[in-house]
């Protein structure tokens, strides 16, 4: 079983977000980068399944410039077998999906896994786009993932509940809440091994760019909090009704 | 030319978010000087279909095909794309919920269109087409320019108000061809909290965190949600500890919500939590710790023990609701 896991290289979740160049570009100063949290959980679960069934290779792929290699190495240290970096600035979701579809075609994979969404652009679209480009079935927001007797057994989130779903290989799954609980942390041995694991760099293929970001904005600064005495909850009800007008 | 909206139905019924979606799409249709068409898949009775005409749709197309009995992104997006082509749709607009997002991404590829997911307001300009969405998981916003002929959008829930615009609506069936290769996935069983208001649709959310100590203490949280006609949600550790179901987790790695009123009880206000809730119109925090970061984001705060404050607040709310 060959699995292609798509990882994003994103600002740590505690990052304070700032922009530069008149708010047209993300300010990378002092930003720590991480593997997207959804993909980190996906890798964790894939490793658990691999340990249970054996005979699986996990290739991580990232579309990015050289700066993403420490993030890719971290995935190798956690336990992925090898890695591919597509040399390009990931400008738009379709562009990224097209690159990954190309990698898929070169590699005879049985399964593509992506995170449900990246935490920078929050597009939640790359997985489905890859599936569409490759004419594959897909399972979105997968909340449970297992392979038993060669069959994929998944659970997916639907609006207001969840659903058990069977799907034929090859397919694309996007990992959502519940895929794994705690991300696996690399140990010393993993970090040493990661240095020697293969990381191939491939050139990007052409794809017309259909969307671009012009301008970023930060949310308006909120006014100060109005405190209400704990003994006087009626006052809060009054404020919510008369001042905030939400009751 | 037309604007097409995919109006999903839940067991033959539409929701508030359906009408938000139509209202939004109707404004785009007006700006683009064209008609608004709704599309739904499966059985819906005529009364319900007619309700779509109240928000600007001049036509609703109903697709009935037994291959579409189960929701499968591949087959559904194939059906939607076929209809979009037949109607010469220049805009195809979805709700940004779990199914809508998946369908929009696939449909955009099929139609060779560009896609902006999770838009939250009307475009600031049509030519070029520029529209705003959240970025960095709610910590910022970004203006996206879409330069394709066919434009696909998904609209965030609770971010656009419902606008009535009554039209005489035509109800028609549309036929599509679904190939067996469009299936490939087979849903087996469904588990649904029936009748429960969706977190992403609720106008009032009562949310609680680890400060509540254990799942046995959620009675007062549920009671407050009930009094206010809202629903409950929670911080991530609460879902991870399985005190509450996973679908209640809000925040950067959970659901992003935008209710009118968000009440946070025993939630510290970590940056990852706030990212998912800071579009709420009004936020209230109840916390024993006056230094809790939530107080910096909240509009109203009570420093106090939830176990004392919440029951009292529930009584006061009940009294208020009773008039
Ligand atoms: C990659 C990543 C992603 C994350 N994503 C999310 C996310 O999407 N959503 C999310 O919520 N978190 C997320 N987190 C976790 C986040 O950092 C915080 O740990 C979490 O939000 C804290 O939850 P909490 O406020 O319920 O618990 P705590 O931080 O333990 O806070 C409990 C609060 O309750 C108060 N309290 C205690 N007793 C009482 C009482 N009797 N009455 C009133 N108040 C009381 C305390 O003063 C405290 O402020 C993420 C973390 C990481 C690393």
Nearest-CA residue for ligand 1 atom 53 is: A13
Instruction: Assess whether pLDDT exceeds 90 at residue A164.
Output: yes
Min distance B25 CA to chain A CA atoms (Å): 20
Give B167's DSSP letter.
-
Which chain A positions have a beta carbon within 8 Å of B184's beta carbon? 136-137, 167-168, 171
CB B166 within 8 A of CB B127: no
Average pLDDT over residues A168-186: 93
Domain with CATH 3.40.50.1220 in chain B: 199-322
Average pLDDT over residues A53-74: 97
Q: Which residue, chain included where needed, has tokens 């799954």? A: A173
Contact B320 A246 (CB under 8 A): no
Q: Is the CB of A13 under 6 A from ligand 1?
A: yes
Angle in degrees, 0-180, between the axes of helices A69-78 and A188-196, rounded to the nearest 10: 120
Cβ neighbours around B159 below 10 Å, total: 17
Which chain B positions have a beta carbon within 8 Å of A119's beta carbon? 136-137, 252-253
Ligand 1 centroid, distance to B267 Cα (angstroms):
5
Angle in degrees, 0-180, between the axes of helices A126-134 and B73-86, rounded to the nearest 10: 80
Instruction: Give me the architecture of the B2-182 domain, per CATH.
Output: 3-Layer(aba) Sandwich (3.40)
Which tokens sit at A212?
A: 């671009």
Q: Which residue, chain included where needed, has tokens 């209640």? A: B248
Whether the CA torsion A182, A55, A133, B84 is positive or negative: it is: negative
Contact B135 A122 (CB under 8 A): yes
User: CA B61, CA B171: separation in Å to the nearest integer?
Assistant: 6
The reported pLDDT for the residue numbered B309 is 98
Which residues lie below 8 Å from residue A30, measured CB to CB, with a gap of 6+?
none
Cβ neighbours around A55 below 10 Å, total: 7
Q: Is the CB of B207 under 6 A from ligand 1?
A: no
CB A91 within 8 A of CB A97: no
User: CA A223, CA A227: separation in Å to the nearest integer?
Assistant: 12
The DSSP bridge pattern shows strands B231-234 and B204-208 to be parallel
Domain with CATH 3.40.50.620 in chain B: 2-182
ipTM of the complex: 0.94
3-state secondary structure at position B38 = strand
Give the residue among B99, B135, B139 at the shortest CA–CA distance from B116. Answer: B135
Give the residue among A105, A156, A93 at the shortest CA–CA distance from A129. Answer: A93
Express each pLDDT in A139-149 by its tens digit: 999 999 999 99
Average pLDDT for chain A: 95
Which residues lie below 8 Å from residue A102, measured CB to CB, with a gap of 6+?
A86, A205
Cβ neighbours around B49 below 10 Å, total: 21
Q: Which stretch of DSSP H or E encloses residue B190?
A: strand B185-192
Report the topology of domain B199-322: Rossmann fold (3.40.50)
The reported pLDDT for the residue numbered A177 is 84
List strands edge to edge, sheet with B151-155. A211-217, B140-146, B129-135, B114-119, B151-155, B89-95, B2-6, B35-41, B59-63, B170-174
Which tokens sit at B26?
A: 């109707």
Atom number, ligand 1, closest to the C-alpha of residue B213: 38
Give B198's DSSP letter.
P
Q: What is the dihedral of CA B240, B243, B247, B249, to 10 degrees?
A: -60
Measured CA angle at A69 (ends A48, A147), to 5 deg: 20
Ligand 1 centroid, distance to B234 Cα (angstroms):
9
Radius of gyration of chain A, Cα coordinates, nearest whole angstrom: 21
Which of A129, A157, A215 comes nearest B98 by C-beta?
A157
Contact A165 B187 (CB under 8 A): yes
Please give chain B's pLDDT, 323 residues, in tens: 999 999 999 999 999 999 999 999 999 999 999 999 999 999 999 999 999 999 999 999 999 999 999 999 999 999 999 999 999 999 999 999 999 999 999 999 999 999 999 999 999 999 899 999 999 888 899 999 999 999 999 999 999 999 999 999 999 999 999 999 998 888 898 887 766 788 988 999 999 999 999 999 999 999 999 999 999 999 999 999 999 998 899 998 889 899 999 999 999 999 999 999 998 999 999 999 999 999 999 999 999 999 999 999 999 999 999 98
Contact A236 B313 (CB under 8 A): yes
Contact B141 A234 (CB under 8 A): no
The backbone torsions φ and ψ at residue A218, rounded to the nearest 5 degrees and listed phi first, read -100, 150
CB B234 within 8 A of CB B208: yes
Ligand 1 pocket test: pick from B241, B248, B253, B285 the residue with the most ligand atoms within 8 Å of its Cβ.
B253
3-state secondary structure at position B245 = coil
Give the residue among B272, B25, B252, B286 at the shortest CA–CA distance from B160. Answer: B25
User: CA A151, CA A130: separation in Å to the nearest integer?
Assistant: 22
Which tokens sit at B1?
A: 């030319």
User: CA B295, CA A17: separation in Å to the nearest integer?
Assistant: 20
Q: Is the CB of B26 under 6 A from ligand 1?
A: no
Instruction: Assess whether pLDDT exceeds 90 at residue A119.
Output: no
The reported pLDDT for the residue numbered B167 is 94
The reported pLDDT for the residue numbered B195 is 67
Q: Residues, chain B, total?
A: 323
Ligand 1 pocket test: pick from B206, B234, B236, B276 the residue with the most ligand atoms within 8 Å of its Cβ.
B236
Contact A214 B143 (CB under 8 A): yes
Q: What is the 3-state secondary structure (H, E, C) of chain A?
A: CEEEEECCEEECCCCCCCEECCCCEECCCCCCEEECHHHHHHHHHHHHHHHHHCCCEEEEEEEECHHHHHHHHHHHHHCCCEEEEEECCCCCHHHHHHHHHHHHHHHCCCEEEEECCCCCCCCCCHHHHHHHHHCCCEEEEEEEEEEECCEEEEEEEECCEEEEEEECCCEEEEECCCCCCCCCCCCHHHHHHHHHCCEEEEECCCCCCCEEEEEEECCCCCCCCEECCCCCHHHHHHHHHHHCCCC
Query: Domains of chain A, with CATH numbers?
Result: 2-214 (3.40.50.620)
The reported pLDDT for the residue numbered A122 is 86
Q: Which stretch of DSSP H or E encloses residue B319?
A: helix B306-322
3-state secondary structure at position B19 = helix
φ/ψ bin of A135: left (φ > 0), alpha (ψ from -120 to 50), beta (otherwise): left
């Amino acid at each position: 079983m060959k699995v292609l896991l798509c990882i994003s290289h994103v600002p740590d979740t505690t990052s304070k977000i700032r922009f530069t160049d008149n708010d047209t570009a993300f300010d990378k100063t002092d930003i720590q980068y991480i593997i997207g949290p959804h993909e980190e959980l996906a890798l964790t679960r894939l490793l658990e399944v691999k340990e249970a069934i054996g005979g699986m290779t996990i290739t991580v792929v990232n579309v990015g410039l050289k700066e993403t290699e420490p993030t890719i190495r971290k995935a190798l240290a956690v336990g992925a077998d090898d890695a591919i970096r597509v040399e390009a600035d990931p400008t738009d979701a379709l562009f990224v999906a097209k690159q990954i579809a190309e990698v898929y075609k070169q590699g005879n994979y049985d399964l593509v896994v992506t995170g449900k969404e990246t935490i920078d652009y929050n597009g939640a679209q790359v997985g489905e786009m890859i599936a569409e480009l490759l004419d594959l079935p897909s399972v979105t927001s997968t909340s449970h993932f297992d392979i038993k007797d060669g069959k994929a057994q998944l659970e997916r989130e639907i609006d207001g509940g969840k659903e058990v779903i069977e799907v034929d290989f090859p397919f694309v799954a996007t990992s959502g809440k519940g895929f794994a609980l705690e991300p696996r942390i690399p140990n010393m041995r993993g970090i040493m091994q990661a240095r020697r694991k293969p990381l191939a760099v491939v050139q990007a293929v052409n794809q017309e760019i259909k969307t671009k970001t012009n301008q970023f904005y930060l949310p308006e600064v909120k006014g100060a909090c109005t405190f209400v005495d704990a003994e006087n909850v009626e006052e809060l009800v009054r404020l919510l009704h008369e001042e905030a007008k939400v009751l | 030319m037309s604007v097409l909206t995919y109006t999903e139905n839940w067991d033959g019924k539409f929701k508030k978010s359906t009408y938000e979606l139509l209202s939004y799409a109707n404004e785009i249709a007006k700006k683009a000087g064209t008609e608004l068409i709704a599309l739904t898949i499966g059985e819906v009775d005529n009364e319900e279909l007619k309700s779509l005409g109240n928000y600007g749709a001049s036509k609703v197309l109903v697709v009935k095909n037994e291959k579409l009995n189960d929701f499968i992104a591949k087959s559904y997006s194939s059906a939607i794309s076929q209809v979009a082509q037949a109607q010469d749709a220049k805009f195809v607009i979805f709700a940004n919920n779990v199914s809508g997002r998946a369908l929009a991404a696939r449909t955009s590829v099929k139609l060779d269109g560009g896609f902006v997911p999770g838009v939250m307001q009307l475009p600031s300009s049509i030519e070029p087409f520029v529209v705003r969405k959240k970025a960095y998981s709610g910590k910022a916003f970004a203006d996206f320019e879409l330069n394709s002929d066919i434009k696909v959008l998904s609209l965030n829930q609770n971010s656009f108000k419902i606008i009535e615009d009554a039209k005489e609506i035509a109800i028609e069936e549309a036929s599509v061809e679904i190939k067996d290769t469009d299936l490939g996935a087979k849903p087996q069983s469904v588990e649904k909290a029936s009748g429960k208001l969706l977190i992403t649709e609720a106008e009032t959310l009562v949310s609680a965190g680890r400060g509540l100590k254990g799942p046995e203490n959620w009675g007062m949280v549920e009671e407050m949600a009930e009094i206010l006609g809202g629903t409950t949600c929670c911080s991530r550790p609460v879902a991870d500890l399985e005190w509450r179901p996973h679908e209640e987790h809000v925040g950067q790695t959970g659901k992003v919500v935008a209710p009118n009123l968000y009440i946070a009880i025993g939630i510290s206000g970590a940056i990852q939590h706030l990212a998912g809730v800071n579009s709420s119109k009004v936020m209230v925090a109840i916390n024993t710790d006056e230094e809790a970061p939530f107080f910096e984001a909240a509009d109203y705060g009570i420093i106090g023990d939830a176990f004392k404050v919440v029951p009292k607040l529930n009584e006061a709310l009940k009294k208020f609701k009773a008039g």
